[in-house]
Each structure stands twice: as structure tokens, then as C-alpha cells.
Amino acid sequence: MTSREQILSDVRKALGRTAGQAPAAQPKARIVIPTIAVEERVRLFQERLEVLGGKVHRAATYADAARVVGGLIEGTAVASNAAVLRYAGVTAMAGVSSGYGDEPSLRAACASAPFGITGADYGLAETGSIVTVGANEARLVSLLPPVHIALLSKSRMLTGLDEFYTLHPRPALASASTVFITGPSRSADIEMILVRGVHGPRVIHVIVVDEELI
Amino acid sequence: MSLIQIQQDEKIRSTVADSKIQRAVYSATARLKEKRSEVVSADALPEYQELRTQANLIKKHTLENLDFYLEEFEKNLTANGGKLIWARDGKEVADFILGLAKERGVKMLVKSKSMTTEEIHLNDHLEAHGIDPVETDLGEYIIQLAHDRPYHIVAPAVHMTRLDVADVLEKNLKVEREEEPEKQAMIARRTLREKFLAAGIGISGGNFLVADSGAVTIIENEGNARLTTSAPRIHIAVVGIEKMIPRAQDLAVFLKLLGRSGTGQLLTVYTSFLSGPRRAGDADGPDEFYVVLMDNGRTRLLADSEKRQSLYCIRCGACLNACPVYRKIGGHNYPGAYSGPIGAIITPQYHGIKENPWLPFASSLCGACAEVCPVKIDIPKILLELRKEVVESRAADSDSFAERKAFQMYAWMMRKPKLYALAGKIGSKLAGLPGLTSFGPAAKWARTREVPRPAAKSFRDEWRDRKKGGR
């Protein structure tokens, strides 16, 4: 008997079930989406993220957002392939590199750049989180550089987890990797003392942009 | 009493006498408790009880139909390009990883925090075969360098001070001594960054297996789990079969409970939902993605519909922080990887009750663990069940003969009121004598307890007098 057969057979024996038997009716999923006006969501998002040591900026247009980015970065930065960064003009800025076609060069760039710039597919107001879904967001851009800057469209600011899982009931359909980022990397493993930037970025800036994405 | 029990007793006494450890564990658990209370209060989270009920319901349903969800998970993971490995025990997990490492020529691998791999001593297996596993969670890394073992499910190095950490880093990494946690963390960041980028395999655990998506969900704060699952070419997630949930949408319930119950966070810093290897067009991510589904004693728990709830656990650690026994005896006096109340119920069930018969008794049954459990596991009830099993299994043993006789005598006497009253009188006189608890079994009992002084007048006498006085 293979391990697969053994485990499945042990499970069925313990539960008194037979192979191919349909499951009992599933409990209904609990999804409750509160009503929160967009501006209030942005305010809540800012409050929650700043408690964690993150920084929230506002910009009317993507061009304004690029100017905010320009004010934050010094030296080099690596940008993800998010379309919004090209649209905003971030990828054309001095010192910003992007569009890496092969993984080794992307890795090398992320390992040395002091700034990583990404888009964010959604914001979650209730927790101060940003969400990245989709292929254009290289994982290492929001992970290796010590400072992470993300551009988030105000229209993508959701109330929270429940709303996200309504829009993406099966996130695996869109991407192999969906990540919620809630503040800068942190640890309290030594004497419960808070330390930021243990493995991921120690600083996170989120620029919330009013301009609607086309 | 077995030799192991005597050694355990010595160990517990030395922990209780160690003021440094007592202070460290007490203050850390107090802080975690306080942070949890703040974020689950009726003001902060009015739907808290409803979420707990729903989480309990989902876990119950999933385990009652587990074979169906295991197969569904397998089907969806495979469709995503991932591979499922079934492992009956720790040896099968280690054999798979060793085989793959050998085939791919991997000598060093990185690991993110996983209690499941602690449970099966995976690192020992790998090291014995010339593979170097590097723990990357800050606390786990320190523990690994110190050749120690985790003290707490979510805070593995909670028993060490920054000075202990300074010693460990200085000695093992040959770096200049640093006593500030911030600088110590930066030493770990620098050292481990190189490991992440050089490792051929990344091994993670998994907080949830999502059947409808074939996905593994991992929560963490440092970013080491994201690095472990993103940087190396191969990602292997080792997860117990009980971590299954039916739908991604159920995460809306579980994620709200897990961070809050564990560390008082609304969400941990990173929540990764990983459903397979990198896809065409992905800029990065692993080329190969394996999920190792491990049994290791879990199917044994499934048969009993009451004790089955032990498998609902989402490893938040809240019951440890709430437990007066854990806070006193610490994490290293529990056998196996899991400490505290949850350890006291799952360890004997995974490995058999005979191995650690004292474990279900390491509780005051105060109920604090059940009160804070986010998935509503009735831990005290299961402890009582297990106590019953221990007593029954020992009933035939010769060393419990005296105890059995004593209880039989007590039962006999309880049915004879006059005799009981007389024995009570004699007993209360005797108990007042100071020498009585200095030797024999009573001495052992009294070592860590105050012997209560019997009242001058027994309850029975008081009752009778009051009735006579018309009160």
C-alpha cells in the first residue's frame, strides 16, 4: 500500500466514510462587508498602517505620485513590472531600473538597491494592508530592498479581507502568489523588543492616488 | 514511578527556581495576553464570538470529511503545477527531502519556522545525511545556533535574554559582541541574506491548506517565510493533514482570529497564499513546488469524535500564554515540540498515552485555555478524557495498587456516615501534627504545596450546632 492509500484509508476508517463519498453540506462561508465611504477607508488605512510604523502619502494624479517617489528615493531603486509604474513615469526616473527579463539580474538588482517600488492591487482599510496579486509584481522587489514604496489607487481601497475574498474567491486563479503586506517587516523575538526590518523592508511607504485607473 | 518522571520532576523544579527564566516567561506571556485581550474585546471586535463559532464549525466539518478535502486539495494543487507528497511519518518526510536534495545536488537549504518539522526532528535527519538546514526566523535561528529547542509555539526564544543572545551570536558567528536586539537582528539579517540567495531548497510549514485552491497559506512577521518560499528554486511545504480548510473564503474568518490570538495583531505583517510554482510570465518564484502532507499520528485522533477537536488547533499559542502551569514550568518541560495546554492534549494522542502519562495531569483545569482558544477546543474536557485513559491503563499496574486500595477504602467509608465522622476527627488531629508531611508520599506532595490547616471545628459539627441554635 502506498502512503497515499494508507493515509486515505486510515482517515476513512476513522470517520466511517467510503472512497468517493460526497462530503456533508458545507457550512456557509461567513462574508460580511461593512459599508465604509471611500475617504473614510483611506483615513482608516492610514491610521492602521501608521500605527505599525508605515507611512501613507496622498497624490491627486499618478504624475504627482511619481513626484512623491522622487522625493523619497536616493541613489538607485528597482521597480516591478506593474503597468501603473510605467504609466506614472516612475520607471523612466533617474536611478530607477526595471523590466528585468531574467531572474538572476532581477535578484542582483533587488539585493543591492536601497529602494523597491511596486504597485498594489488592493488596499485593505481595516488592517492597513496592501495586496499584490498577479504576475507583474516580482516577489523580491517588495522583499529585499530595505525600503518599499507602493502606489495604490484610491478606487482599489477595499474595506477589508471579506471584500477581497468576494472579489477573489479563488485567488489561485489569478496568480501563484497572493500576498498581504501589513506594515514593515518586524520581530519581537528577543526580549519582546520590537525590531523593524529583520528580513524584509524596515520602511514601507504607500502612496494613495486619487486618479482613477483606466 | 519511572525514571523519566523523576527526571522530569527535577527539571521542573529547577525551572521554577530559575528567577531569570521565570521573569522572562512571565513578562512575555503577560504582554501577549494583554495584547490579545485588547484586540478581541467587544469594542474592538464585536463579532469575535461569532468568528470563533464559525471557525469551530469549519474545522469540525473539514475533519469530518477530511478524505474528500485531501483529495480535492491534491487535484487542485496538481492542476496548478504543484506536486503532492504523502508522508505517513517523519521518516517519510525526511526521506523525500533527502532524496530530492541528493537528486538536485543541494547541500544547504533554508527553513522558515515550522512546528511540524520540529515535531519530526527534520533538522537532525538532514544533518545526519550531510545536508545543512538553516533556520531563518530570528528566534529559531538563535535557538539553532545555541543547540536549544523552541520554548513557545510563537516565541521560540522567549526564555533567552539579550545577553544570552549576545553570547550565542558572538560565539557561533565570530562577530563583535552586540547586546542591543536591533543590532543583533541586523547581524542575523546580513548572515541569513546570503543563505537565502545561495540555498537550493526552501522548506516552510503551512498555517492553512486551502482545498478549493490547492494552496498553502503562511503567516509571519519577518519576511523570512516569503524569502524561503520565493528565493530558492525549490519550495517544499511540510504540513499536517489537519491544517485543511475547504475554501479560500474561509480565510476571512481564520486570519482575523489567528494574528489577534497569537500576538494581538489584526493581521501579521505578511500573509502569503501560495498555490504552485511560478507561472509563465512570473518574474520570480520557485520552479518546483511541493506540498508534503504528513499524518504522523493524526489519523489516530480522528476516530474519537470528541477528542478529534484537538486537531482544530491553528497554533496561535494563546493557550500557552493563558496557562498558569505553562507560565510556571515553561516550554522545555513538556515532551515533544508542542508545549502548554495544547501540547498536553496532542502529544499524548500522537505518541500514545503510555509515553507521558503525567502530561494530562499538568493542568489545574482552570479553563483559561478553552476561554482564549480561537477555534473553541474544549481543552479541559479532553484533559479529563485523557486522565481517565491514563488511570484505566494503569489500573492493572502494581505500583498504583496502594492508591487503588486507598480509594476503595474511601468509597466504602463514605457510605458509613458515623465511621466517616470519626475518621474525620482523627484525621484532622493527625494533619495538625507538623511531622506528618515530612516523609513518605505526603512529603513529595507537600514539597510544592502548602498543607492546609484543618479547621478547629469540622463542617459537620458546625452544621449540627447551627441547626441546634435555630439559625
- Secondary structure (3-state) at A107: helix
When CB atoms are compared, the residue of B27, B155, B185 closest to A198 is: B185
Give CA separation, B351 vs B134, B296, B340, in Å. Answer: 27, 9, 16
| Gap from B371 CA to chain A (nearest CA, Å) | 22
Nearest by CB to residue A139, choosing from B31, B138, B284, is B284
Question: Would you state the pLDDT for residue B352?
Answer: 84
Asked if the Cβ–Cβ distance from B213 to A172 is below 8 Å, we say yes
Q: Do A177 and B272 touch (CB under 8 A)?
A: yes
CB of A181 within 8 Å of a chain B CB? The answer is: yes
Cell of B186: 541586523
Q: Smallest Cβ distance to A6: which of B61, B88, B269? A: B88
Nearest to B73 by CA among A83, B65, A187, B253: B65
Q: What is the mean pLDDT of residues A140-162?
A: 97
Query: Which chain B positions have a beta carbon within 8 Å of A187's beta carbon?
Result: 138-139, 185, 221-222
> Taking CA atoms, what residue in B is nearest to A196?
B182
Reported as type and span, the H/E element at residue A153 is strand A147-153
Mean pLDDT, rounded, for A50-78: 97
Nearest CB to B165 within list A80, A165, A190: A190
Structural domains of chain B ordered from first start: 48-299 (3.40.50.10420), 402-468 (no CATH)
Predicted local confidence at residue B417, as pLDDT: 82
pLDDT for B191 equals: 97
**Of B29, B73, B328, B377, whose CA–CA distance to B216 is shortest?**
B73
CB contact under 8 A, A27 and B58: yes
pLDDT of residue A79: 97
Q: What is the pLDDT of residue B454?
A: 77
Closest CA to B370 of B346, B349, B345, B341: B341
User: Distance, in angstroms, between A92 CA and closest chain B CA?
Assistant: 19
- A-B Cβ pairs (cutoff 8 Å, strict): 262
The pLDDT score that the predictor gives to residue B319 is 98
**B190: Cβ contacts below 8 Å, ≥ 6 apart:** none
Ranges A11-15, A134-138, B214-218: which has the least confidence = A134-138
Cβ pair B271, A127 in contact under 8 A? no
Chain B residues closer than 8 Å to A190 by CB: 138-139, 142, 157, 160, 162, 165, 181, 184-185
Average pLDDT, rounded, for chain A: 96
Closest Cα partner for A88 from A14, A157, A182, A151?
A: A151
The confidence band for A178, taking pLDDT boundaries of 50, 70 and 90, is very high
Q: What is the mean pLDDT of each run of 10 residues along chain B (471 residues)?
A: 65 93 95 97 98 98 98 98 98 98 98 96 97 98 96 94 96 96 97 97 98 98 98 98 98 98 98 96 95 96 94 98 96 93 94 86 93 98 94 70 72 80 77 66 69 79 83 57
How much is the pTM?
0.91
CATH of range A38-209; options 3.30.470.10, 3.40.50.10420, 1.20.1260.10, 3.30.1490.20: 3.40.50.10420
Chain A residues near residue B278 by CB distance under 8 angstroms:
176
B273 beta partners: A178, B217
Query: For chain A, what are the domain ranges?
Result: 38-209
Whether A191 sits inside 8 A of B161 (CB atoms) is yes
Phi-psi region of B240 (alpha: psi -120 to 50; beta: other; left: phi over 0): beta
- Name the nearest CA neighbour of B207 among B445, B375, B400: B375
Q: Is A31 strand, coil or helix?
A: coil
pLDDT of residue B399: 58
Between A135 and B30, the more confident residue is B30
Task: Please give the backbone phi and psi of residue A181, each rounded to the nearest 5 degrees, phi first.
Answer: -115, 120
Q: Do A199 and B247 count as a contact with CB atoms less than 8 A apart?
A: no
ipTM of this predicted complex? 0.98
The stretch A135-154 carries a mean pLDDT of 95
Chain B interface mutation, best of A196, A198, A203, A206, highest count of B Cβ atoms under 10 Å = A198
